[in-house]
Amino acid sequence: MAIETAPARRTLAHIHLGEDGGAERFFVRLSGALAGHGVKQVAFVRPGRPWREDLARHCDVREVRFSRSHIKRHLIRWHIARQIRAFGATTTLGWMSPASKWMPKPGAEMKTFLRLGDFPDTFRTYGNVERLIGNTPEIIRQAGEMGWPQDRAHMISNFVAPMSADIAPARRTDHNTPEDATVVIALGRFVDRKRFDLVIRAIGTLPGVHVWLIGDGPLKPDLEALAATLSVSDRVHFLGWQRDPAPFLEAANILACPSDDEPLGNVVLEGWNAGLPVVATASQGPSWLIEEGKTGLLSPCGHPDELAASIKRIVDGPALRETLVAAGHAQMCDRFSEDAVSQAYMDLLFGAHA
């Protein structure tokens, strides 16, 4: 008679110092997916995060005031480690480099991982990090070039939440956009590397095309001034930061990712998920995600005319649009589904086929 063994304990601690953005949305989604696999979780986050209540649905949330003081840092790290032990966690997952300062010491009863969604610049604070998880091959490659052992580096990408059939598209009339216009949507922080100026410049040669910019950041006044200089202010709409961009994606026609420096390009997955054709510049992440001409259109970084040409190909080619939408969605379901990504995390954090 076979003897049944008790399932391995699956208890996980997160350390996350982020504010609000795509990385934080993925953190909440992954925590929910792991909870669906039976993982008990505790998360140490900064106070007042806007996604706290969403996370608390499936995770014990502890708010911590992280300090830059060298002395306080050691006390706070000791305090976090003590709470992790009391919670019974056997694995700690830090999110992005700032979390590395607060990780508990690894050992026989504690495994430590640091998940990176951007390129590392130094390993100076990684003393308690056993293994890295990067969400693109390029992040892992660059970490290796900087000296991180490749046998302690793992690539697991992101997934996006399936679009609900109940989502009502945003009303174009609420945003001064004609019903018959082609709407190009772009999402992210208004910072240099995101290059939203390229989209504004691109539509200057595309009459009837409007841009919805979802986000905020220090370059907003510059982008508004550029739109005015190019006489396209009536076709460039700044819609602010949206906690849930799904209604806006539902109402758009094309998704653009014009970045010069994009480790992954989670917005590409968002576009595929929403059934939109994707145009992107050939930065690191989109070049890895997109098969040119099949799952999206790539153009050289920093070239608004080439980006405009990609948009025009879709506007003028309904058959191309349908091909890109179908292949992009199939790619997302095959390689970037919640089941595939969450199982990869389970296998890595808790052992094969956990």
Which among 226, 327, 205, 221 has a CA at the least distance from the CA of 276?
A: 327
HSE toward the beta carbon, residue 344, CA cutoff 13 A: 17
pLDDT digits (tens, 9 = 90+) for 283-335: 999 999 999 999 999 999 999 999 999 999 999 999 999 999 999 999 988 88
Write the CB contacts of 166 (distance below 8 Å, at least 6 apart in sequence).
none
Give pLDDT tens digits for 13-37.
999 998 877 788 899 999 999 999 9
Taking the domains of the chain in order of start, what are their residue ranges? 11-159+337-350, 172-335
Does residue 4 register a pLDDT over 80? no
Please tell me if the domain spanning 11-159+337-350 has the same topology as the one spanning 172-335.
yes
Task: Output helix, strand, coil percentages for the chain, rounded to the nearest 5.
Answer: 40, 20, 40
**Local structure of residue 110 (DSSP, 8 states):** B
Q: What is the pLDDT of residue 352?
A: 54
Each residue of 249-267: b (16+ CB within 10 Å) or e? bbbbbbbbbbbeebbbbbb
Higher pLDDT, 161 or 337: 337
Q: Which residue has the tokens 């609000």?
A: 20
The more confidently predicted of residues 9 and 111 is: 111
Residue 320 near residue 313, CB atoms below 8 Å: yes
Cα distance between residue 106 and residue 129, in whole Å? 7
DSSP 101-137: GGPPPPBTTBEEEEEESS-----TT-TT--EEEESSH
CA–CA distance, 39 with 296 (Å, rounded to integer): 36
The strand pairing partners of 254, in sequence order, are: 184
Residue 119 phi/psi, 5-degree rounding, is: -75, 135
CA atoms of 208 and 231, how far apart (whole Å): 13
What does pTM read for this prediction?
0.82
CATH number of 11-159+337-350: 3.40.50.2000
Give the tokens for residue 126.
């990684």
What's the CATH number of domain 172-335, 2.60.40.10, 3.40.50.2000, 3.60.20.10, 3.20.20.70? 3.40.50.2000
